[in-house]
Every structure is written in structure tokens, then in C-alpha cells.
Amino acid sequence: MISIRNLSVDLGDFQLRDLSLEIASGEFFILMGPTGAGKTILLEAIIGLVPVAGGEIFLDGDRITHLPPEKRQIGIVYQDYALFPHLTVRENIAFGRRFQAAAGVKNSELPADLLATLELEPLLSRYPGTLSGGEQQRVALARALAVSPRVLLLDEPLSALDPRFREELRHYLRLLHRQTGTTFLMVTHDFAEALALAERLAVINRGRLEQAGTPEEIFRQPAAWKSTWAGKWNWNGAASPSAPRISFSAPTPWWPPASRTLLPAGSAASPPPASTTRWRSRSPT
Amino acid sequence: MLNRREPLFWISLSCGLVVLAFITLPLVKMISGPTAATMRQTIVDPEVRRSIWLSLYTAGAAALIAVAIGTPFAYLLARRDFPGKKLVEGIIDLPIVIPHPVVGIALLSLVGRNFWVGRLLHELGVRLMGSVSGIIMVLTFVGLPFYLNAAREGFAGVSPRLEAVARSLGASGRQTFFLVTLPLAWRSLLAGIIMCCARAISEFGAVVIIAYHPMIAPVLIYERFESFGLKYSQPVAVWLIFLCLTLFLLLRLVSPAPRPAAR
């Protein structure tokens, strides 16, 4: 599990202040918040890209606060895919495996189940520049998961995609989460995405944690933050066909009292029991 | 849009023709000047061969030094912001804007025996006045900004996210640089090397002050012009141009082809 204790990061314009958060092993955890809330900084602090000013980060009990990124075994998938443009799809996915030779992984072999799940075999010899956005994001997912990270961070992985790919990717994310049992920590400002995928979620705003809990808890017990910045929320994703439609106008309270009806039956807010038991049993904590 | 019916189109077109003629005519005139026989005669002249070789060799050495000390610095400039960065970048550009003889005089005052740096070098047995090392020092001074700027631009063009991903996949900082950053910035670095070499080969004003002898090609061309006139300096100049163009073309050819660009 990831345990963040009183974390502070100071990057001048952007700050995190005294943030504490616990994410269970195997959980699909979503971080929400408006633009500039500090979501991406939190991810960068977890992966080791920004210096931590105070507090600690633990991963399965190990203190990783000041470890270099390559020693943390935490994967990341960015909104803009960040594929290596000079390498083929195969070389992209195999990139991290060469550094795991010590761990007994043959770096020439790609994980077949991952390729099959993401339907990547036909693309292996192509270069990233020739792929669609959806294909590129699938490659990025495969590349990150090919090294079996302890946690996968996803920084708005769907927001650069057009709606038809977004639904497809959401499907792959759910599938991969269930198959690999990896802890997923995803950042989004899209409400529908959070509803469709999160087992638990946290809301951060202006560098502070506002609320954390299951989607139901959060949407049933609106806290003070909602009235202050919900008006600036980006609702793009709410328009996608499978997502609950939410209409919103700034002056009224953004979360209607009859909130439960907005959670669709069988949404990811209540994960299938099979996967639940699987990741609970894998939990080393 | 610039339309054929507009007078501006014709003004722009004629200006363009004047510019092209202004650049190419003197070169064409010079290249077509010497006969094949004089060209042959010139290249068998040991003095000419020595000076052209010295020019290529010192310019190459200057570029190597620029790569060795410029690459890490360019990477730092591309990746980090710090107070006074604009000033640092201004200092890097100084050798471009300072008149060439001034560069020579400035370096002379530094390495001369009246200054402690010069005295120290003298005691260590390093002779910069009138020596190949002196020429390389001057050429590095004038060529370095061209390499630094090109390399910095090249590194800045590689998204830090690619490096972040490589690190997250287990690559160390050094492995990330050699497997991701360098292959993607390579073409800019090569362009910088070519610019740096080209600038170094063309240097005259600063070199004559530090080292008239041994003679690099531009100094020899100048000396032949002064002593014997245009007819004797032209063939050397043509050989220098010809060899430089061939070299730069070869450098371009051996550089790897670009991959399909990411969307």
C-alpha cells in the first residue's frame, strides 16, 4: 500500500501542504481536483521527480521519500503518452525489461498476456508516430505494466483521447486492473471517469486534501469544497454515452440531494466481487 | 497571401534574386577562376596541404572540446531554470558578437606572461603563442557558442516526460541520457558540431594575433594575397571551400535518418 504522511512539496507556484493519504494494495484509486490543485505534483512526488520539502511516502512499508525514481518500481502513464519516438512499439514495451535482467526477466520476451489483452501484436513493428491516440495510450500502458510495477500512476490518461477511444481505454484500464492486481492511482478532473473507474477517490484542491472515501461516500456527503470550486469543474467527460449525465449550473449546489440515483447500477464504484477478493488476498499489508 | 498581381510580390521576388546573386556570384566567380592546372599545382604544394590540414585538424579539435565541455552544460541549460540564467546565456553569446581581432587581443592578454594564467601555463610548459594549442584555444572560443546553442535547443526539444518515463522503468540518469535523450537530440548536436567547425575553419582575425605561424588556411590565403596577389590566393581558397563542403556533406550523410515524428 501507499502511505503518504504529512507530505509537503514547494515548487514556488505550486504547493502541496501537509497532505496525508492511504491507498490500499490493488486498489483503483482516483485523485480528483480542479486544474492547478496539485494532483500532478502529488504524482510526481510519489514517483520521485520533485523534491519533497516535508513528510514521508511509504510503499508497502518501505520509506521511498528520497529514493531515485528508478529504484521505486512505480510506473507512470501520461496524458500525452510519452512514447519514445525513436523506438518501435516492441522496443518501447521492452524498454524497462532490460533493467530487470537481474530480476530474472528475459528482456527479449514481451509479456504475451499483456500484449493479448491490449491487442498490440499487429502494432509491434510500427513507430509511435504512425499510431492513433488510442493505440499510443495502449502501448504506454503495456510499457508501464511490462515491468510489473508495484503501483501504476495514471496522469489523466484519457483526456487527450477523443470520446470513442476514451470508452475503449476505460475498458482496458478496468481489465488490466483486474488482471494484474496492480495498484492504480489515477488523476482526472473528469467526474464521469471517476464514477466509472474508482474504488475509492480523493479530492484535492489548492494543495490540500479535501475529502477521501468511496465514490458514494464522497458524493453523498458533500463537503464545503464543492460549493467553492465545483463551478470551475471541467465536466467534459460527463457527456460521454456510458457515463451518468449530470447537468450543472453554477449558482445551484452542484450535487443534488438525490445523489444515489446518479450512481449507475454495476458501475465501478462497486467493483465485481471476484477482483475484490483477488487483490485483497495479494495485499502484503 | 502574396499574389502575383500585387506589386509587393515583384518587389519581394527581385529582392530575393539580388540576395541570391550577391551570395553566389562572388563564390561562383572565384571557383570558376583558377584553371584545372593551377588547382592541381596548388594541392601538391606542401605548404598549402599543411595549412589546410592544420585548419581542418584544429577546427575538429575545437569541436571535440566543445562537445566534451559543452554537452553537459547545454543539458543543464535546457533542463533547469535558475536565477541569472539570461545573463549566463548572454555570456555564452559574447564570442559571437565580439569583433574577431578583439577576441585575439583579449585571449592574448590572458595567456601572456603579464598575467598569472599565462605565467602558470608557461611554467607548466604550455605554449599558446604561435602554437597549434593556441590556435585550438582561439577556435574553441569562437566556435563554442554555436555548439552550445544548438545542443541546448536539441535537449530542450526532448520532452522531460520521456526521461521521467525512462527513469520510472528502471533506467538510471546516465542510462536515460544515452538511451533516450541523446538519440533524440543527436541531430541537433550534429548540426551544432557542423556550425562550430564551420565557424572555427573560417576564423582569421583572432588567429593571426595569437598564432600567425603555424599557418592555418585562412592565414595562408591572406598571406598569398598580400605577397603575390589574387591569382595565387584564389586556388587555395577554392580547395578549402571544396574540402569543407565535402566534409560537412559526409557528416550529414553518416548521421542517422530521422524516425517518423510523433503526433
CB of A78 within 8 Å of any CB in chain B? yes
Cα gap B260→B263, rounded to integer Å: 9
**Burial of A51 (C-beta count, 10 Å sphere; 0-12/13-18/19+):** exposed
Assign A101 a pLDDT band (cuts: 50, 70, 90).
Answer: low
Q: Which residues of B touch A84 (CB under 8 A)?
A: 162, 165-166, 180, 184
Q: Can you tell me which residue has the cell 611554467?
A: B123
Structural domains of chain A, count: 1
Cα gap B108→B121, rounded to integer Å: 13
Q: Take residue B96 and report the three cell numbers written for it.
A: 559571437
Does residue A213 belong to any structural domain of this protein?
yes
CB of A48 within 8 Å of any CB in chain B? yes
Beta-carbon separation of B161 and A78 below 8 A: yes
Q: Take residue B188 and report the three cell numbers written for it.
A: 541537433
Helix crossing, B100-111 with B116-123: angle to 10°? 60
Does residue A231 belong to any structural domain of this protein?
yes
- The pLDDT score that the predictor gives to residue A103 is 58
Does residue A9 belong to any structural domain of this protein?
yes
User: Which CATH number do you get for residue A244?
Assistant: 3.40.50.300
- The pLDDT score that the predictor gives to residue B91 is 96
- The pLDDT score that the predictor gives to residue A265 is 42
Cα gap A91→A128, rounded to integer Å: 11
Assign A186 a pLDDT band (cuts: 50, 70, 90).
Answer: very high
Please state the domain extents for chain B: 46-254
- Considering only CB atoms, A85 lies closest to which of B168, B171, B259, namely B259
Beta-carbon separation of A78 and B165 below 8 A: yes
Residues B125-155: tens digit of each pLDDT:
888 888 999 999 999 999 999 999 999 999 9
Assign B216 a pLDDT band (cuts: 50, 70, 90).
Answer: very high
What is the mean pLDDT of the segment spanning A51-76?
A: 94
Q: How many CB atoms lie within 10 A of CB B241?
A: 15
- Considering only CB atoms, B184 lies closest to which of A74, A86, A136, namely A86
Beta-carbon separation of B263 and A84 below 8 A: no
Does residue A109 belong to any structural domain of this protein?
no
- The pLDDT score that the predictor gives to residue B263 is 38
Q: Among A79, A208, A204, which residue's Cα sits nearest to residue A133?
A: A79
- The pLDDT score that the predictor gives to residue A238 is 37
Residues in chain A: 285
| Domain that includes residue A256, residue range | 2-73+183-282
Beta-carbon separation of B168 and A78 below 8 A: no
Q: For residue B76, what are the CA distances in angstroms to A53, B85, B89, B188?
A: 23, 11, 12, 16
Least confident of A8-22, B13-27, B202-216: A8-22
Stretch (H or E) spanning B198: helix B182-202
Q: Which of A95, A139, A154 to mutate to test the interface with B (most CBs of B within 10 A)?
A: A95
- Considering only CB atoms, B170 lies closest to which of A70, A127, A128, namely A70
Does residue A210 belong to any structural domain of this protein?
yes
Question: Residues A52, A42: contact at Cβ < 8 Å?
Answer: no
pLDDT of A255 > 50? The answer is no
- The pLDDT score that the predictor gives to residue B259 is 56
Q: Which CATH number fits domain B46-254: 1.10.3720.10, 3.40.30.10, 3.40.50.720, 3.90.1150.10?
A: 1.10.3720.10
Beta-carbon separation of A143 and B169 below 8 A: yes
DSSP state of B132: H
Tell me the average pLDDT of chain A. Answer: 79
Contact residues for A219 (Cβ-Cβ < 8 A; gap 6+): A255, A259, A262, A263
- Distance to chain B for A272, nearest Cα, Å: 30
Nearest residue on chain B to A74, judged by CA atoms?
B168
- The pLDDT score that the predictor gives to residue A226 is 55
Cα gap A280→A181, rounded to integer Å: 9
- Distance to chain A for B259, nearest Cα, Å: 6
Helix crossing, B132-156 with B182-202: angle to 10°? 140
Residues B218-263: tens digit of each pLDDT:
999 999 999 999 889 999 999 998 888 888 888 878 766 665 554 3
- The pLDDT score that the predictor gives to residue B118 is 87
Does residue A19 belong to any structural domain of this protein?
yes
- Distance to chain A for B156, nearest Cα, Å: 15
Does residue A11 belong to any structural domain of this protein?
yes
Beta-carbon separation of A99 and B171 below 8 A: yes
Chain centre distance of CA A176: 12
Beta-carbon separation of B161 and A49 below 8 A: no
Contact residues for B178 (Cβ-Cβ < 8 A; gap 6+): none
H helix intervals, B98-176: 100-111, 116-123, 132-156, 160-168, 173-176
What is the mean pLDDT of the segment spanning A170-177?
A: 93
- Considering only CB atoms, B167 lies closest to which of A70, A130, A143, namely A70
Chain centre distance of CA A242: 20
pLDDT of B163 > 90? The answer is yes
- Distance to chain B for A262, nearest Cα, Å: 37
Helix crossing, B36-44 with B46-79: angle to 10°? 80
Asked whether the ipTM of the predicted complex exceeds the cut of 0.95, the reply is: no
Maximal C-alpha separation, chain B: 72
Give me the half-sphere count of Cα atoms (radius 13 Å) on the Cβ side of residue A185.
29
Beta-carbon separation of B165 and A127 below 8 A: no
Beta-carbon separation of B169 and A95 below 8 A: yes
- Distance to chain B for A66, nearest Cα, Å: 14
Residues B69-128: tens digit of each pLDDT:
999 999 999 999 999 999 999 999 999 999 999 999 999 898 888 889 888 988 898 888
